[in-house]
């Protein structure tokens, strides 16, 4: 069984470089699984990702625990029996900060609201914990953050050690262990005691700060997203830059940005409504003009119009205004990057718009379909829209008996 140095103490998690004997190398999928006599590489588990690093300068792609052995997954075999190993310091320390931050945050939820942590996960940019709370709001988030950061400022020692069962009974464990022997407990001194096999910082001061970013309700529990350590610094830097840039753009100070953006959004919404009203009036006017220019074929009035770069929703609105009147057919096209076609008819018109469209779509190298009342299609040849509409008018004239 691999000697897992990272479990020995909180201090052991600060060992990044070590030498070890290679116990075995076995094929693993299209790679190799290397088992060492001892290791400080942490395998993925308990919500914490695996460490990164190198073995004899070969990248460690993954670290997996299987039957008590730690498998170091490499793309090639090390050539030496004794190898030099190096854990990526930045990744390891980030995971240490996030995992200790989770313990601290979970303890605060337990103390303040008697809420237990169901699970946690360290993601690439933030960490999430799932808390069995029925309700959660901004005020509660602030209370949790205040308590957690007060513990950080006190720079309390974080201790990791294995207890026997007799000693374990004397500890105020926040949760019960999942194993029955060699139970390792991570202690935030006199504040939290939690069974855990992960890597942690040596004192809470190394967390820097902890910040809840957002949360979402999930059935009868909440998923809480937070950052701490360098992630909190990076998150603050990004948001501070964004706020300052927005403030500069709007000529506002940072504390004025929120109200300034809110005012801008309200103004934009008013403008959008006004623009929509103007478009409606314009399209109603266009509908009337097209009806006045319609061509009578038999007892029907046929409107044919080609637009350029017009929104299809507006075209449909115009068509609807036209066919709200009896005995109208609206044959509307649009030239953009592609050809767009929309046909519609009044209820008393006997023609089938879907059939008319499908029988002529090849002209624009297009596809589409629809019902007897409405049909829509598009094609790759916008320059052929006029020819298509002319052909459809000819089909209608033939059907009516003009020719």
- With cut-offs at 50, 70 and 90, classify the pLDDT of residue 402: low
What CATH architecture is 3-87? Beta Barrel (2.40)
- With cut-offs at 50, 70 and 90, classify the pLDDT of residue 333: very high
**Spatial separation of the C-alpha atoms in residues 275 and 283, rounded to whole Å:** 12
Residue 196 CB-half CA count within 13 A: 29
Pairing of strands 38-39, 3-4: parallel
Per-residue pLDDT tens for 360-396?
999 999 999 999 999 999 999 999 999 999 999 999 9
Mean pLDDT, range 95-100, rounded to an integer = 96
Is 286-400 in CATH node 3.10.310.40?
yes
The two three-digit tokens of residue 310, written as one number = 């017009």
Give domain limits for the chain: 3-87, 93-237, 286-400
Is 93-237 in CATH node 3.30.980.10?
yes
Q: What is the pLDDT of residue 403?
A: 46
Mean pLDDT, range 48-69, rounded to an integer = 94
Per-residue pLDDT tens for 179-209?
777 788 999 998 999 999 899 999 999 999 9
Instruction: Tell me how many degrees the CA angle 372-374-376 measures, rounded to the nearest 5.
Output: 120
Q: What is the pLDDT of residue 180?
A: 74
Could you tell me which residues come within 8 angstroms of residue 104 by beta carbon, excluding any fewer than 6 positions away? 148, 151, 152, 188, 191, 192, 204, 207, 210
CB 389 within 8 A of CB 333: yes
By C-alpha distance, which of 225, 228, 257 is closest to 244?
A: 257
Q: What is the pLDDT of residue 319?
A: 97
The two three-digit tokens of residue 202, written as one number = 């040596």
CB 340 within 8 A of CB 319: no
Query: Which of 162-176 are b and which e, b meaning 16 or more Cβ less than 10 Å from the residue's Cβ?
Result: ebeeeebeeeeebee
């Amino acid at each position: 069984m691999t000697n897992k140095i990272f479990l020995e103490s909180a201090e052991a998690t600060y060992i990044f470089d070590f030498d070890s004997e290679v116990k075995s190398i076995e094929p693993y999928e299209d790679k190799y699984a290397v088992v060492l006599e001892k290791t400080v590489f942490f395998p993925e588990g308990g919500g914490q990702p695996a460490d990164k690093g190198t073995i004899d300068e070969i990248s460690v792609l993954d670290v997996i625990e299987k039957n008590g052995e730690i498998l170091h997954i490499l793309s090639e075999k090390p050539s030496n029996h004794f190898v030099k190993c190096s854990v990526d310091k930045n990744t390891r320390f980030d995971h240490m900060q996030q995992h200790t931050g989770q313990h601290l945050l979970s303890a605060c939820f337990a103390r303040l609201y008697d809420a237990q942590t169901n699970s946690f996960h360290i993601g690439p940019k933030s960490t999430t914990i799932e808390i069995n709370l029925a309700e959660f709001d901004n005020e509660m988030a602030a209370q949790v953050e205040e308590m957690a950061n007060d513990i950080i400022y006190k720079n309390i020692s974080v201790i990791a050690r294995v207890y026997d069962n007799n000693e374990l009974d004397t500890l105020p464990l926040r949760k019960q262990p999942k194993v029955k022997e060699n139970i390792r407990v991570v202690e935030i001194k006199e504040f939290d005691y939690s069974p855990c096999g992960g890597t942690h910082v040596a004192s809470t001061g190394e967390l820097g700060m902890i910040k809840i970013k957002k949360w979402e309700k999930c059935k009868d529990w909440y998923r809480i997203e937070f950052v701490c350590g360098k992630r909190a610094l990076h998150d603050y830097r990004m948001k501070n830059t964004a706020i300052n840039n927005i403030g500069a753009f709007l000529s506002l100070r940072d504390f004025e940005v929120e109200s300034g953006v809110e005012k801008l959004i309200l103004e934009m919404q008013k403008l959008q409504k006004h623009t929509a009203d103007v478009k409606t009036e314009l399209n109603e006017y266009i509908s009337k003009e097209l009806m006045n220019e319609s061509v009578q074929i038999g007892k029907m009035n046929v409107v044919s119009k080609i637009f350029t770069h017009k929104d299809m929703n507006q075209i449909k609105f115009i068509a609807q205004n036209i066919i709200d009147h009896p005995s109208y057919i609206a044959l509307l096209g649009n030239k953009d990057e592609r050809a767009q076609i929309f046909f519609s008819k009044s209820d008393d018109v006997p023609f089938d718009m879907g059939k008319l469209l499908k029988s002529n779509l090849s002209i624009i190298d297009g596809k589409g379909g629809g019902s007897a009342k409405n049909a829509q299609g598009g094609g790759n040849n916008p320059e052929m829209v006029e020819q298509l509409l002319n052909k459809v008018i000819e089909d209608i004239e033939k059907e009516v008996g003009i020719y």
